[in-house]
Amino acid sequence: MPLIEFTDKGLYCRAGGFYIDPWRAVDKAVITHAHSDHARWGSKNYLCHHLTKPILQLRLGDNNYQGVEWGETILMNDVKISLHPAGHIIGSSQVRVEYKGEVWVVSGDYKIEDDGISGAFEPVKCHTFITESTFGLPIYHWKLQLTIFNDIQQWIRNNQSAGKTSVIIAYSLGKAQRVLQAVKEVTTNIFAHGAVWNTQEALLNTGVLSPGLLPEIKRVTADLPKDSFKESVVIAPPSADGTPWMRRFAPYSVGICSGWMQVRGNQRRRNADAGFALSDHADWKGLLQAVEATGAQKVLVTHGFQSAFSRYLNEAGIEAAEVKTEYGDEDEGLIVTETNTGETNNLSGDD
């Protein structure tokens, strides 16, 4: 029996009696991060990073939550569990599972570059590595965050000189906070959609975000006069894009922040004026780098381009297989997978 099995409820460690990011309600769930496709409602006990705990509490209500530090070891039966930074969003963690000398690591979602908010990705040695593959094609190659931030800032300045509002589309938990680090260098006149505003308030009120790290944002409300948005920046989740809610900002320009913006066609299909390929996931090189750093003999590839990525690994001499999961619809907002490449399905990403 493998240490971690793929069951209809999710990734299951039989020896330890727990699931990792289960998609059905279970008794014991270990959670990598607070995005809704990884942290689902209904389980009895949740174990997660202490920064993830308050977000789970807000999103999933009262349950039994246990928050741990990165690197702290927890025993379930005779199985050792520890969490390690995944660099994806605040509190996001990889899960290390050890039993009788065998080590498995479940990546959750991860990103290699340190974005200043999410913690720095830490490679963890293991025998078997279960990796995501959201951007597991060679065409996905990210620019440095600093370079993308410069692009965003220049775009905002151009909009300001044209008398336009800059509407930035970024999902509310993760991307929105990240992009505000760039925006605050250009303006203090920043508005946010309710979903983004609520998330930031919650992160501040629970102490997950330290005050002062991010600029103050004003909530967009119906009573605000139209000219208050003039030349400002508005942060909105993907679900708001293209809806009548946007009309009040006219004249405006829309910039989408998502790894999918690396592909020009996606920007066109979304009717965006600008696309910034700012992703909270590893790019192709990042995935390879992460796999290599684990030293794993076996790699199991989940949500994303799992067949392309596992095929490549096999050809490179690393034993790999693809595995079906039910992850992948909150964070990048626009989902393109192998089954629907070339088409955009409905935007999710709101919460």
Q: Kindly list the residues in this chain that would bind Zn ion in the complex (CB under 5 A).
A: 35, 109, 327, 331
**Least Å from the CB of residue 219 to Zn ion:** 25
CB 302 within 8 A of CB 23: no
**Least Å from the CB of residue 118 to Zn ion:** 10
Residue 179's closest CA among 267, 101, 278? 278
Cβ proximity to Zn ion: between 118 and 232 the closer is 118
CB 130 within 8 A of CB 107: yes
**Least Å from the CB of residue 53 to Zn ion:** 16
State the burial class of residue 4 (Cβ atoms within 10 Å of its Cβ: 0-12, 13-18, 19+). Answer: buried
Task: Transcribe 225-248 into DSSP letters.
Answer: -GGGGTT-EEEE-GGGTTSGGGGG
Cβ proximity to Zn ion: between 165 and 348 the closer is 348
**Least Å from the CB of residue 38 to Zn ion:** 6
Residue 251 CA to residue 185 CA, distance in Å, equals: 22
**Least Å from the CB of residue 256 to Zn ion:** 17
Cβ proximity to Zn ion: between 36 and 57 the closer is 36
Cβ proximity to Zn ion: between 98 and 331 the closer is 331
Cβ proximity to Zn ion: between 254 and 261 the closer is 261
Sign of CA dihedral 307, 13, 44, 194: negative
- Rounded alpha-carbon distances, angstroms, from residue 328 to 21, 113, 127, 348: 12, 21, 25, 10
